A and B are shown apart, each in its own frame.
Chain A
Amino acid sequence: GAGVSQSPSNKVTEKGKDVELRCDPISGHTALYWYRQSLGQGLEFLIYFQGNSAPDKSGLPSDRFSAERTGGSVSTLTIQRTQQEDSAVYLCASSSGQGANQPQHFGDGTRLSIL
């Protein structure tokens, strides 16, 4: 597809379980972002990948959160030992090239519910 693809679209899991969320950016986009959005709230920045540079992890809320980007393309966000406050929509976005003037294109998100 031409857009950013995220999977799964919905995930329900029990507290304490680990979850993996996947993002396929637009082909050729070198920048990839993860955000979290709680119900009725704005976007909370989590992590940013740009090409082969070290990622900006400054937004990760705790050491239970980690993300990888393999081969400069697909990214996986992992949440270990999930807590109920992790329930949110997790959005991935990508943008082309390096530089400040590139808009982001968003996927449809993964709605995560922790029971």
Chain B
Amino acid sequence: QKEVEQNSGPLSVPEGAIASLNCTYSDRVSQSFFWYRQYSGKSPELIMSIYSNGDKEDGRFTAQLNKASQYVSLLIRDSQPSDSATYLCAVTLSPPGNDMRFGAGTRLTVKP
């Protein structure tokens, strides 16, 4: 089992719709979870972090974490064509390493 799994997509949504991106992880004691956005040919950039169960909202983005189910998701409301990118889920492994593993990413296309 991969440490972090994402649906590779592509996921296509119309402009203005809600895009839902999902991620599952295998390390039961992982503490920190991140969503990165990567435009084609560019490096990943951090868009959201979440550490506690529940929802965390930042503008049009909402991260949802359920540690019991080992599941983290990202919702993008009012999707825009500029949101078209690959979204990477990242999970920090349990100690002692505290290092991070990334999912393969979900490619999102928002159609005007």
List the interface of chain A (C-beta within 8 A of B).
31, 33, 35, 41-43, 45, 48, 50, 56, 91, 98-109
Decide yes or no whether B98 CB sits under 8 A from chain A. Answer: yes
A99 proximity list for chain B (CB < 8 A): 98
Question: Is B34 in contact with A48, judged by CB distance below 8 angstroms?
Answer: no
Chain B, range 57-99, C-beta contacts under 8 Å to A: 88, 90, 92, 94-95, 97-99
Looking at the complex, which one of B31, B102, B104 makes contact with A100 (CB distance below 8 Å)?
A: B31
Band of interface residues on B: 20 to 34
| B interface residues (Cβ-Cβ under 8 A, vs A) | 30-32, 34, 42-46, 49, 51, 88, 90, 92, 94-95, 97-105
Interface of B is mostly: loop
User: By DSSP majority rule, is chain A's interface helix, strand, loop, or mixed?
Assistant: loop
